[in-house]
Amino acid sequence: MDIRHNRPSPTKFWNWFNPVGRQTGGWAFILHRITALGLTFYLYLHLAVLGQLAKGPEGYDGFLALVRNPIAIAGELLVVAAGILHGLNGIRIILTTFGLSVTRQKQLFYVLMVIALVVILIFGSRMFTA
Amino acid sequence: MSEHWNILLKVSRQKQGETPRFDDFKIEVDPDEYVLDAVERVWAFMDRTVCFRHACHHSTCGACGMRVNDVEKLTCITYIRDVTHDGGTLKVEPLRNFPVVSDLVVDMGSLYNRLELVGARSVLPVPEAEIENPPATWPEEYGQYIRLADCIECGLCISACPSAATSSDYLGPAVLAGAQANGLKRNPELLDLVDSEDGVWRCHSAFECTSVCPSFVDPGRRIMDLRTQVVKRRFVNLFRKA
């Protein structure tokens, strides 16, 4: 009898991101993973940007001038949004880990996401109008 | 007068190492029948080689768990009306994260072995059971009565859990819930088992287990309760060593 199929495997990590059939907690899980990966990617990008300092003031100023455009600002807003979403959802996970709001975790997620949306909009309006 | 719907039942088929495929069956159903009734009708009248598990037909045995339109369901209590519509599709697949034996039948051995490992009880004294609106004090004679545990060992929670998809060593929601229900105070040796990489810390709070549980076990809440107990023990031990 061959029962190879369907076993758990680390190679099935893509299942983490599959939204089909997921419910509120699952959506929060997916959001948390995606924002974590995005922020990790940004950390390396940030270090690479800071590396421009090694080229002297001219090199760094030249790079800053290059990224002062709407597309780069939108990218920065994505980073801010990822930080806010990951941070607020992280608070939900910490609370539930300590037995707080476990039976209200869905409602907690919705409330935190509304707060996140408002904060992201405020950041966005300021970043694009500055 | 009963209503009649025509639906397309797509049954996942997989025999002995074959790549999974779907076989389609056009059937007429009463929308107030259960999904298991539709699968049984296909087996009885259209294809006797379809393999699936079932027994009690009233959500006690936990045998008929399947993925119905991508969501884990106990098919004996899932109304067809709730998961599709007239002219719609009903897709049934085996549970995830368990090896497929044949078609819709999975090998649940790992779940049963682990439930035994944590001493999960299938019956428990009534005063220990979580009952809605329990009396402030239990009459003394209730102590001699026992009741069936809520967990029917259907495996839906393990199938829905994203963490269980990537780790075969993860104890899983049902097992951790069993450990919690068994009681860490009564079984302190369980603490080391659950306070481990493949215990409560493998859970990443997706709460899919609680969403799909057909029996009000609420594994997510129980895992969080175990975590709280584990953190308390670590905290106490920190000061004891100091």
The whole-chain average pLDDT of chain B stands at: 92
Q: What is the pLDDT of residue A1?
A: 44
Place of tokens 């029948």: B33
Alpha-carbon distance A28 to nearest alpha carbon in chain B (angstroms): 7
> Considering only residues 31 to 60 of chain A, which have any Cβ-Cβ distance to chain B shorter than 8 Å?
32
**End-to-end alpha-carbon separation of chain B, Å?**
75
Q: How many other C-beta atoms are found inside a 10 Å radius of the C-beta of residue A48?
A: 9
Q: How far is CA B8 from the centre of its chain?
A: 26
Q: How far apart are CA A8 and CA B107, in angstroms?
A: 13
Q: Are strands B89-93 and B5-13 parallel, antiparallel or unpaired?
A: parallel
- Measured between alpha carbons, how far is A100 from B97 in angstroms, rounded to an integer? 30
- E strand or H helix at B66, and its extent? strand B65-68
Query: CB B101 to CB A1 under 8 A?
Result: yes
Chain A nearest C-alpha distance from B41 (Å): 26
Report the C-alpha dihedral over residues A103, A106, A112, A113, rounded to 10 degrees. Answer: 170
SS3 A47: helix
Query: For residue A3, what pLDDT is reported?
Result: 52
Low-confidence stretches of chain A (pLDDT < 70) are: 1-4
What are the pLDDT digits (tens) for B39-88?
A: 999 999 999 999 999 999 999 999 999 999 999 999 999 999 999 999 99
So what CATH class is A31-129?
mainly alpha
What structural domains does chain B harbor? 5-106 (3.10.20.30), 109-120+150-241 (1.10.1060.10)
Does the pTM exceed 0.80? yes
Put simply, the answer to whether A3 touches B101 (Cβ < 8 Å) is: yes
Size of interface A-B (CB pairs under 8 A): 112
Confidence band for B112, pLDDT divided at 50, 70 and 90: very high
Q: Where are the domains of chain A?
A: 31-129
Give the distance from residue A47's alpha carbon to the nearest chain B alpha carbon, in angstroms. 29
pLDDT value of position A6: 82
With the CA atoms of B169, B173, B174 and B175 taken in that order, what torsion angle do they form, in degrees rounded to the nearest 10?
50
Are B16 and B36 contacting, i.e. CB atoms less than 8 angstroms apart? Answer: no
What are B122-166's pLDDT values in tens digits? 888 887 777 777 777 777 777 788 888 889 999 999 999 999 999
- Both tokens of B200, joined, read 């409560």
Q: 3-state class of B27 per DSSP?
A: strand
What's the mean pLDDT in B26-38? 97
CB spacing of B227 vs A98 below 8 angstroms:
yes
| Percentage of residues in chain B having pLDDT higher than 70 | 99
- State yes or no: pLDDT of B242 exceeds 80: no
Q: Name the closest residue on chain A to residue B200, using Cα atoms.
A: A97
ipTM of the predicted structure?
0.85
Chain A's closest residue to B14, CA to CA, is A5
pLDDT, average across residues B92-117: 95
**Would you call A97 and B205 a contact, using CB atoms and an 8 Å cutoff?**
yes
